[in-house]
Amino acid sequence: MLFRFIALNGVTIQRILSKNYCSKVPSKPVSTVQNDDKNKICIDPSTITLLERLSLVKYDTPKGIKVLEDSITFANKILHINTDNIEPLYTTLENENLNLRPDKITQGNCQKDILKNATVKEDDYFVAPTGNIPLLEIENKELPLKATNKNEN
Amino acid sequence: MNKLSSYTIKEIHRAYRDKILTPTSFVDLCLQKAIQSIELNAFTTITDDEAESHAIESEKRLYVDRKPKTLDGITIGIKDNFCTSNIPTTCGSEMLKNFVPTYNATVYARLRKAGACLVGKCNLDEFAMGSGTVDSIFGPTRNPWQYERNNWKIAGGSSGGSAVAVTTGSCVAAIGSDTGGSTRNPAALCGVVGLKPSYGLVSRYGLIPLVNSMDVPGILTRDIDDCVAVLNSVAGPDDLDSTTIKRDYKPIEIQDIDMSSVKIGIPKEYHCEGMDREVINTWSYVSDILEKENCIVKQVSLPYSSVSIVVYSILNQCEVASNMARYDGIEYGLRTDETYSTEELYASTRLQGFSEVVRSRILTGNYFLLTRNYNKYFIKALKLRRLISDDFNKVFNGENKVDLLLTPTTLSDAPSYEDFSLKNNRDQCAFQDFCTQPANMAGIPAVSIPIRLSKNGLPLSLQLMGPMFSEELMLNVAKKIESIVKFPSFDNTTLADKFVKI
């Protein structure tokens, strides 16, 4: 009982001493570890072409290239931080075991469902145009264009 | 009658038992709210047929079988990036405009199983990439607070439709998704509760992925009790999502807790450059309240949190580049008429189907993933992610540990659409997600609670974060804060007058 009283009192005294509540929230912005070095990034036309082929999207407007360059500049803010001997964190569940399920078929017979959302189909198949033709057309057509865009920048 | 649309789940169920209200009449009331506030653009689809048939089922269970379920007759909205069987699921994108899933996301399936009635699918930034709900093919969602037809505030995002649907009383609860703050941010700007559960607590099955290792379904409600009721019916292991924790879920109870045993940390780095004075004052105000409630409140440090946004921008774009590879026009979604080659079809479909924001994230992601950049950017970002996450481990488990962290949710109250549109998508997110993003890096739970109104008459909210799976303590403390600050909820009884059709 006596013990409890003292403990309680201890806490109370501590509280009274720190009555200045607002002090816990910092009154000024706290500086960050990121680097605000704004070195301009320039992406060459061949990289843009490569990225477009990898991404299978066209993105050759001057504005588009600027967005890409800005995003890289933004990312560069953290490159200076020391991460030696730090392991990458791929998932926050890295310490959890993955559940194993019995090796039994639980899904299937859903051909109709799977084909339902396809715009073009033939019998029970998805339909695609001829494959294995790289986006050469686009590349050839647009490389000179990209070069001019670059110059405008 | 109108006031009924701000009832809590408990009050609605009492009204059902006393027969002041029936599920069908309540669903009609909610649909009416959705129509009255149509100008706010909260919904991509209003599912009135489903809502009515769900209500009839609830009514039967309540009055004929006398075996009501936990959410019988409770109206819900679902963000339009969760699959709903036979109901369009668009992600706010041209790419999925014609997509009608053949299966239900687990969260929706569980809500239906608990008796909830679907009012509609909620608007979002395209593929949930944004923090304003301004980048959707259905147009922006508008904040109901201080609404004027020619001068309105953004709803926040990307789950802005879900937040507005709850605020206007079009539904009792809504499901959002949260990868960098997409549930908490619009909840904060619209003055409702927004919960981001621990990663692995709620199934992602049927949630169209953005960043797989950070995405979680979020919950938006008008108060903490409702939030707990919804969480209790959707949380727990799911065989269809291998990343859910396979331990049984113990339902959370809200009870009177001993606040003097709770230690609250104020992470100093969350006072960043550009944070509004009113937000800081609100933060101090609640920090003081907690001390008066005998909590132990102390300042802590999370130094790496400040780079969370930059690290996120790298990881997000890398995962987007990979996740968006599935949209090629062949199996589902938009398909252009291009017939020259498969590659041409893919490229033209993706050009037409994705907005500039999505395409630029894909392209930038592929840049970071190039062999020559992979270690420099992608692996570097993952290493920094560990440092960000370790900071949390230290404050929750190390010496001088705390149980919860209290921070602002957003840096200001809701900006006007005009001001917000001046910035590009990346800067919008960098600014608005500063306080919310770190929780996704570490997978920890966080909840945004509306506190009071700013001098502009707009909601100001704060965020609590806790260690993994500490939802019970976090929501109990949130409930305590809610009961003390008594936030003046949005008065949706005047909706009809506000949006009189011309």
pLDDT one-digit tens code per residue, B249-307: 999 999 999 999 999 999 999 999 899 999 999 999 999 999 999 999 999 999 999 99
Alpha-carbon distance of B103 to B206, in angstroms, equals: 8
Taking only the tens place, the pLDDT of each residue in B11-55 is 999 999 999 999 999 999 999 999 999 999 999 999 999 999 999
This prediction has a pTM of 0.92
Which residue in chain A is spatially nearest to B267 when comparing CA positions?
Answer: A25
How much is the pLDDT for A41?
82
Put simply, whether A109 touches B (Cβ < 8 Å) is no
Put simply, whether A52 touches B (Cβ < 8 Å) is yes
Spell out which residues of chain B touch residue A24, defining contact as CB-CB under 8 Å. 266, 284, 287, 291, 297-299
- Select the residue of A26, A71, A98 nearest B364 (Cβ to Cβ): A71
Q: Are A93 and B242 within 8 A, CB to CB?
A: no
Task: Give mean pLDDT, residues B361-380.
Answer: 96
Taking only the tens place, the pLDDT of each residue in B416-431 is 999 999 988 878 877 8
- Select the residue of B287, B335, B382 nearest A24 (Cβ to Cβ): B287
Nearest CA to B203 out of B104, B93, B74 is that of: B104
CB pairs under 8 A between A and B: 233
B500: pLDDT confidence band, cut at 50, 70 and 90? low
B64: pLDDT confidence band, cut at 50, 70 and 90? very high
Question: Is B182 an annotated catalytic residue?
Answer: yes
Going from the N-terminus, what domains does chain B have, and what CATH number goes with each?
Answer: 2-260+403-498 (3.90.1300.10)
- Give the distance from residue B155's alpha carbon to the nearest chain A alpha carbon, in angstroms: 25
Alpha-carbon distance of B434 to B410, in angstroms, equals: 7
Alpha-carbon distance of B49 to A84, in angstroms, equals: 58
Convert B170-181 to b/e letters by CB count within 10 Å (16 or more is b): bbbbbbbbbbbb
Spell out which residues of chain A touch residue B384, defining contact as CB-CB under 8 Å. 78, 81, 83, 86
Write out the H or E segment, with its range, that includes residue B385. Answer: helix B380-397
Spell out which residues of chain B touch residue A79, defining contact as CB-CB under 8 Å. 376, 380
Strand-pair partners of B366: none
